[in-house]
Amino acid sequence: MAPLLIGTGIWGLVTGVAMVKVGLSAAQAIAMTLLVFSGTVQLASLPLIAADAPLWVVMLTAVVVNLRFVIFSAGLHPFFRSFSIARRWLLSYFMVDMSFAMFLSRFAEAPRDERGTTEQVWFFLGMSAGSWMAWQTMSIIGIVLAAEVPAHWGLEFIAVLALIAITLPMIAGKPALVGAVTTGVIAVVAAGLPLKLGLLVAVVAGIAAAMSAEIMLERRARNTGGTS
Amino acid sequence: MSNLEIWLVIIGLTLVTILMRSSFLMLGDYFPLPERVQHGLRYAPVCALIALVTPELFLTQGAFNLSVENPKLVAGLAAAVITLTTRSMIAAMATGMLIFTVMRLLSAAA
């Protein structure tokens, strides 16, 4: 968890600096980081703001970059479905890649009647609160110090290293491995697609590949079981 | 963009992002997902994270770069090996960042 927060914090710092470098005022940058609270969306919008793109292009880009949140939301729905509307808004605001990934890798196997427990809510909010504080604190420091931090330190790469260290141990079993390799290859091949669509294509293909592998393995296990 | 336009962008991004994050949490009861799809979603986290990582490692300014002189690729692979062998995230990140920085400085000096 701690290395993740370091990664998140540095990513936030870089985003804070980038927002100001693109021409947002300090007030605008702080409003953006507090209200939107999504590094991917914020960073994706900056080149468009700099290029004076029409408002609808910025929004469309945000929708595509955000499509993974719809997947996350569907994944969390079985756990949080019975909560009040206000509580679901709150949980939605705090939904980030890291809290979703850690949550589902821990509770995916929970039986139907053990979903939405207090432990699960607090686990999710705990993961999220840590990310939120690391992100916001470092973003605001970045916004304030924007003029002092050279862009070419390459500090944002630490976020990628953090992702590697968190993701690899999560690849458990052959279907997950098939999905990970498929996603990895397609994400590279399709990276040139506009609007970050390659990200979405890769994730969908990876999930499909993992599910196909799972079905094939089940079938093979059943066949060998029948003949032996 | 004008000041006003930037504020509109910020408000728009806020709405788009919260609506998409809350989509299924709010409306999932009215759009039930098939069991198969729900089951497949457990692979989503790994796939989403991998999809963010590989382009960073294998692409340099949009071009495929499978070379031992690609600092991000070498550093990323080193971090992956250390993660798999030691399970220490700190060691993986520190080694990766060290290799990345040294290679970057060397190539800048060359």
What is the residue range of B6's domain? 1-32
- Indicate whether B21 and B69 sit together in one domain: no
Q: What is the pLDDT of residue B101?
A: 92
Q: Which pLDDT belongs to residue A228? A: 46
Contact criterion met (CB < 8 Å) for B25 and A88: yes
Domain count, chain B: 2
* A52 close to B (CB below 8 A): yes
Chain-chain contact of B48 with A101 (C-beta, under 8 angstroms): yes
Which whole-number Å values give the CA distances from B66 to A167, A181, B45, B52, B60, in the listed order?
22, 16, 26, 17, 9
CB A176 within 8 A of CB A165: no
- Asked whether residue B81 is assigned to any structural domain, the reply reads yes
Distance between A222 CA and the closest CA of chain B, angstroms:
19
Asked if B104 and B50 sit in the same domain, the reply is yes
Contacts 24+ apart (CB under 8 A), A205-208: A206/A179, A206/A180, A206/A182, A206/B43, A206/B46, A206/B47, A206/B50, A206/B51, A207/A179, A207/B40, A207/B41, A207/B43, A207/B44, A207/B47, A208/B40
Kindly state whether residues B26 and B50 are assigned to the same domain.
no
pLDDT tens-place string over residues B5-16: 999 999 999 999
Q: Which residues of A135-153 are buried (b: 16+ CB within 10 A; e: fewer)?
A: bbebbbbbbeebeebeeee
Say if B88 falls within a structural domain. yes
Asked if B40's CB is within 8 angstroms of A211's CB, the reply is yes
Take residue A186 and report the two structure tokens written for it.
């397609």
B59 and B26 housed in the same domain: no
Do residue B28 and residue B46 come from a single domain?
no
Report the complex ipTM: 0.82
Helix (H, G, I), strand (E, B) or coil at A13: helix
The CA distance from A180 to A167, in Å, is: 10
* Whether residue B72 sits in one domain with residue B46: yes
Is B40 close to A207, i.e. CB distance below 8 A? Answer: yes
Report yes or no on B25 lying in a domain. Answer: yes
Contact B17 A2 (CB under 8 A): no
State pTM to two decimals: 0.72
Q: Tell me which residue of A59, A29, A103, A21 sits closest to A195, measured CA to CA.
A: A59
DSSP assignment letter at A152 = G
Contact A19, A42 (CB under 8 A): yes
Give me the residue label for tokens 């994270």: B49
Question: pLDDT band at B43, cuts 50/70/90?
Answer: confident
Query: What are the φ and ψ backbone dihedral angles of B63, each rounded to 5 degrees?
Result: -105, 140
Q: Are B105 and A153 in contact (CB under 8 A)?
A: no
Tens-digit pLDDT profile for residues B86-106: 988 889 988 999 999 999 999
**C-beta separation of A135 from A37 below 8 A:** yes
Q: Which of B17, B41, B90 sits opposite A75 (nearest CB)?
A: B41
| Whole-number Å distance between alpha carbons of B71 and B91 | 18
Domain shared by B8 and B27, yes or no: yes
Quickly count: other Cβ atoms within 10 Å of residue A29's Cβ. 28
B45 burial level (CB within 10 Å; 0-12, 13-18, 19+):
buried
Residue A196 has a pLDDT of 67
B40 interaction partners in chain A (CB closer than 8 Å): 207-208, 210-211
Q: What's the pLDDT score for residue A227? A: 52
The mean of the pLDDT values for chain B is: 90
CA distance A196 to chain B (A): 10
Helix (H) or strand (E) run with residue B9 in it? helix B3-27
- Segments of chain A scoring below 70 in pLDDT: 1, 149, 151, 195-196, 225-228
Record: contact A162-B89, CB cut-off 8 A: yes
Interface membership of A82 toward B (CB under 8 Å): no
Residue ranges covered by each domain of chain A: 2-170, 172-228
CA distance A104 to A167: 13
In a domain, B51, yes or no: yes
pLDDT at A163: 80
Judged by a CB distance cut-off of 8 A, whether residue A179 touches chain B is yes
Reported residue count of chain A is: 228
> Is some CB atom of chain A closer than 8 A to the CB atom of B99?
no
| B12 CB-near residues (< 8 Å, 6+ apart) | A55, A58, A59, A62
Does B47 share its domain with B93? yes
B60 found inside a domain: yes
Do B23 and B55 fall within a single domain? no
Same domain, residue pair B66 and B85: yes
Q: How far apart are CA B87 and CA B78, in angstroms?
A: 13
Q: Are A129 and A4 in contact (CB under 8 A)?
A: no
Listed residue (A168, A142, A161) closest to A6, CA to CA: A161
Interface of A with B in 142-171 (CB under 8 A): 154, 157-158, 160-171
